[in-house]
Structures are given as structure tokens and as C-alpha cells.
Amino acid sequence: MIPLTVAEITEITGAAADPGTDPGAVASGPVVIDSRQARPGSLFAALPGSRADGHDFAPLAAAAGAVAILASRPAGVPALIVPDVPAALAALARAVTSRLPDLTIAAITGSAGKTTTKDLTAQLAESLGATVSPQNSYNNEIGHPLTVLRVTSQTRYLIAEMSARGPGHIAALCAMSPPRLGAVLCVGHAHAGVFGSIDDVARAKAELPAALPADGVAVLNADDPRVLAMAGQTAARVVTFGRSPGADIRASGVEVDGSGRPSFTLVTRDGSVPVRLRLHGEHNVANALAAAALAGQLGMDVAAIGEGLSAATARSRWRMEVTRRPDRVTVINDAYNANPEAMAAALATLAAMAGGGRAFAVLGYMTELGAEAERLHEQAGRQAAGAGLAGLVVVGEEAAPMLDGAKADPSWHGELVQVPDAAAAVAAVQERVRPGDVVLVKASRAADLQRVALALTGEVAL
Ligand SMILES: Nc1ncnc2c1ncn2[C@@H]1O[C@H](COP(=O)(O)OP(=O)(O)O)[C@@H](O)[C@H]1O
Ligand SMILES: [Mg+2]
């Protein structure tokens, strides 16, 4: 963080400073919301959590050296009292970015692939200069300002992930850290139930291109009509990516090897270069193209982009994470999140990785699909049938329509298993798998199939 005095923080956030706070003390970061991460120089933000209230931990943060405490009520130690702590973090983020005119901010949004694209783009940007990017999916009104506040005067690039669960969210994130570059990956069904419809999702994602300045660049997916239409809603120059022949940045000759890793030729207006991704799944080609487009706009040449993409690794865990067990069973842990588009991508990768061998999928429910939930779960079942599985293990009642979908597909010839919980899912898989088999585990985070994947890889006992 760029150093700020307590007096500056008070002014920026409009706080009422408790007696006993030292206006001259300097907070140099990190900004933390967990008292266990507080260090000398920290700014501790007390947030009400679902299980614990940060205010109760303010004394611990102060004891650990936090120079300033942002709180919305008396916290047992002298604090800067604001009506709304997240809004205070947003104000600080805005103040910090406005003091750093040489910082280039690139933001990434979309229904699927944000974290992967953010991680790829950050790995490319790091070869150009000091880069800050969020841990995992720090992409909302709390995680985003915490990420922005990690920026220092040395940072050249901020590669941000922006998520929306309602209208105005992305616009608010853009206001905190005005991006010059913005990429929209795709508009899908993720959170469609919360928004109302997929068109509402599109409107929310369009807030990113709409926030870009005239000297900025909107990176848009040429293969997704809802995204491409956002070209009309931005003042920025438009650069497109995708498989479409007209895309500015495109992939040709895409091939997926036996471990599900795509290779392709990255074709740009400035030349072409071979890329062999270390990530699993053909869907990552689109993510790599978006990262390439952003890096190109940061000034990276095509050869360096090709090398960088081929060297980049999956930084955030549990996205198509592949483990080969000693008994030669392969487990794909994609249990971080799920939505219909991601489900289709994961099943296609599973089929590619199984080759002619046996594939199993352990699938749980996808959250927040609203009125379309049943139809979309059935569709996932049909896609599982299309993947030619030896067995489909469906976990929990909410996911049961997947079984109907698979059964209804005339090509289905595998075994259908319905289990109530994670432990039963692990048992069902262990009973069936043989050396050479591939097992995919996927569901929304709330379905908690992470435990299934980790038990299957032996990382945790269930
Ligand atoms: N371009 C894509 N199209 C469809 N599914 C994708 C794509 N990129 C990623 N996914 C799926 O979404 C899951 C989450 O990926 P992630 O990069 O974390 O996205 P996000 O941050 O948007 O949730 C992945 O495990 C994968 O199954
Ligand atoms: Mg994410």
C-alpha cells in the first residue's frame, strides 16, 4: 500500500476519529480484515462476518501492530468510525489509484473464466513490470479494494477480476479503480437466477466496457454475441478475440492432447506464434486469447506472449486441477465452482482426457440458476451422456434432474448412481474405479464437493 497517515485516512473515508488515535501515525499496509494477518503498519478493517464480527478482533489487530482500525462502531480500541466499512475501503482504493497516474489498470469480467484469465494475464504482465493481481477470486466490494490497496508506487500493472451479483456492482468496482483496459469473457447462466435473466447478466457485464475511457481498450469475445454487442456501449477502442475468423486475436488449429491440454496457433495482426497451454481444458483457449489481447495492449510482443502463455501455470487451485494417483486413476478437481457453461466445458475436457478409456463424473448441483435450474441440470445430464461416461455419480437431491437428463439420452450406456452426500460419493467412486480411469468432480461451491475431490486425491481423509 502507498503510505497514508491516519489523518489522511480519516479525511478520505470521512471517519470520526476516536480520541486516542494518532493522526500522524503512518499506515503502510497491508490492509487486512483478519486480525491474524495484522502486522506493524497494518490498517485493520472490521467487517461483520456471518460467524464472527471483526469488531471483536480489533484489540488483537491493534496488539499485532495495526496502526489504524476502521470500524462502524466502538471496537474496544481507538478507531476511525465510519458508517460503512466497505464503502470506506472503496474510498481508500479510489484515493490510492487517483494518486498513481502511471498505474495501468486492466479489469476482467465474464460469467466464467475470470480467475483463470486474471492469472494468465498477470503472469504475462509480470514479465513487463511489477504487477498486482488478486489472490484467488478477490473480485467483489471487499476483495477488490483489498487488492487495490496492495498497490505501491512501484506497481506498474493492476490486473483485476470483477464480479457482479447485481446491477451496479461492476460500475462501483470500476469507480474505485478506473480501468484503461477491460475484457469481457462471456455471458452465461452464472447467477442468472439472482439477476433475473441472462440478458440482465449481459447488462451488468456491459458496465465494464461502459466505464472505459476513450483512450482505453475494450477486449471483447467475438464468439459471444452478447459480448460482441458491447462494442456499441463503450467509448474505448475495441479489440476482439475468439475462434471467429474476423477476431483480432484468434486461435487456429486448436488441438487437445491426451491430458486435456490445448495447443493452438495464436494469430494476431502483428504475427502468429505457437502456444501450448499447461492448463487443462479447451475452454482455456478463450481465456488465453483474452489474456493475449490484454498483454498485447500492455505492449508485449507476440513472441513473448506465446512463450508466456505456454509457461503460465494455474495459480488458483481447484480449477481443472489434475492429480494422477499412484494407482493410475486420474482425478480432475474442478469443484471450485460450476454453472452450465463451465459444466459443459469440464465434461468435454473429461471426454478428451479419457480418450478411449473409462470416465466417471461426480456432479453436484449448480446454484443460482433460478427458474431454469431444472432444465439446466437435465441439460448437464445429457452432456454427461454425450461425454460417453462409464458412470455418473450425482450428489444430492437438487442435482437429481441430471440423472433424468442422462437417462433420456439414447446414447447413455453407463451406470447412474445417486448418493446423498460427499462421503457416499467417495465410496461410490472408490468401489468402481480401476487403473487408467479418469474422474471429474464438479459442482457449485455451495454443494461442497471439494471434499470429495480432496478425499479422492488423498489430500484429506473423509
Ligand atoms: N471460458 C470458459 N468457458 C466455460 N467454462 C469456463 C471457462 N473458463 C473457465 N471455465 C470453467 O469455470 C470454472 C471457474 O473458472 P474461473 O477461472 O475460476 O472462473 P470465474 O473466476 O469466472 O469463476 C473452471 O473450473 C472451468 O470449469
Ligand atoms: Mg473467480
**Residue 252, Cβ neighbours under 10 Å: how many?**
11
| Number of neighbouring beta carbons within 10 Å of residue 263 | 16
Nearest CA to ligand 1 atom 15: 113
Closest atom of ligand 1 relative to the 110 alpha carbon: 22
Instruction: Tell me if 143 CB under 6 Å of ligand 1.
Output: no
- Residue 35 Cβ inside 6 Å of ligand 1? The answer reads no
Task: Kindly give the number of the ligand 1 atom that is closest to the alpha carbon of 185.
Answer: 1
Q: What is the mean pLDDT of the chain?
A: 94
Residues 129/138, Cβ–Cβ less than 8 Å: no
Taking the C-alpha atoms of residue 334 and residue 260, their distance in angstroms, rounded to an integer, is: 13
116 lines ligand 1 (CB under 6 A): yes
Cα–Cα distance, 142 to 87 (Å, whole number)? 9
> How far is ligand 1, taken at its centre, from the CA of residue 144, in Å?
19
Range 299-325 average pLDDT: 92
- Residue by residue, what is the 3-state secondary structure of the chain? CCCEEHHHHHHHHCCEECCCCCCCCEECCCEECCHHHCCCCCEEECCECCCCEHHHHHHHHHHCCCCEEEECCCCCCCCEECCCHHHHHHHHHHHHHHCCCCCEEEEEECCCCHHHHHHHHHHHHCCCCCEECCCCCCCCCCHHHHHHCCCCCCCCEEEEECCCCCCCHHHHHHHHCCCCEEEECCCCCCCHHHHCCHHHHHHHHCHHHHHCCCCCEEEEECCCHHHHHHHHHCCCEEEEEECCCCCCEEEEEEEECCCCCEEEEEEECCEEEEEECCCCCCCHHHHHHHHHHHHHHCCCCHHHHHHHHHHCCCCCCCCCEEEECCCCCEEEECCCCCCHHHHHHHHHHHHHHHCCCCEEEEECCCCCCHHHHHHHHHHHHHHHHHCCCCEEEEECHHHCHHHHHHHHCCCCCCEEEEECCHHHHHHHHHHHCCCCCEEEEECCHHHCCHHHHHHHCCCCCC
How far is the centre of ligand 2, averaged over its atoms, from the C-alpha of 319 (Å)?
Answer: 10
Q: What is the mean pLDDT of residues 125-139?
A: 93
* Cross-strand bridge partners of residue 31: 43
The per-residue pLDDT for 462 is 74
pLDDT at 283: 92
Residue 230 pLDDT > 80, yes or no? yes
Whether 51 has a pLDDT exceeding 90, the answer reads: no
CB 284 within 8 A of CB 261: no
In angstroms, the CA 66 to CA 39 distance is 6
pLDDT at 189: 80
Nearest ligand, measured from the Cα of 186: 1
pLDDT band at 241 (very low <50, low <70, confident <90, very high): very high
> In 3D, which of 312, 387, 381 has the Cα closest to residue 349?
387
Residue 371 has a pLDDT of: 86
For the CA of 111, the nearest atom of ligand 1: 22
The verdict on the CB of residue 286 being under 6 Å from ligand 1 is yes
Ligand 1 site, residue 113, Cβ cutoff 6 A: yes
* Residue range 364-414, pLDDT digits in tens: 999 988 888 999 999 999 999 999 999 999 999 999 999 999 999 999 989
The whole-angstrom separation of Cα 56 and Cα 44 is 12
Candidate from 47-61, 152-166, 229-243 with smallest mean pLDDT: 47-61
Classify residue 434 as exposed, middle or buried by CB count within 10 Å of its CB (0-12, 13-18, 19+): exposed
| Ligand with an atom nearest the CA of residue 289 | 1
Ligand 2 centre and the CA of 15: distance in Å? 32
394 with 421: CB under 8 angstroms?
no
- Is the per-residue pLDDT at 197 higher than 90? no
Mean pLDDT over 20-45 rounds to 96
Q: Which atom number of ligand 1 is nearest to the Cα of residue 112? A: 22
Task: For residues 439-452, give the mean pLDDT.
Answer: 91
- Confidence tier at 158 by pLDDT (50, 70, 90): very high
- Cell 488483537, residue? 60
What's the 190 CA to ligand 2 centre distance in angstroms?
Answer: 11
How many whole angstroms separate alpha carbon 390 and alpha carbon 170?
42
Closest CA to 362 of 411, 311, 414: 414
Residue 197 CA from chain centroid, whole number: 21
CA max distance for the chain: 74
Alpha-carbon span 452 to 54, nearest angstrom: 31
439 has pLDDT over 80: yes
Asked if 96 and 171 touch (Cβ cutoff 8 Å), the reply is no
Tell me whether residue 277 is exposed, middle or buried, using C-beta atoms within 10 angstroms of its C-beta: 0 to 12, 13 to 18, 19 or more: buried
Question: In which band, very low, low, confident or very high, does the pLDDT at 337 lie, cut at 50, 70 and 90?
Answer: confident
How far, in Å, CA of 197 to CA of 192, rounded? 5
- Percent of the chain predicted with pLDDT > 90: 86
Residue nearest to atom 9 of ligand 1 (CA): 113
Residue having the nearest C-alpha atom to atom 25 of ligand 1: 319
| Residue with the three cell numbers 498505474 | 103
pLDDT digits (tens, 9 = 90+) for 261-304: 999 999 999 999 999 999 999 999 999 999 999 999 999 999 99
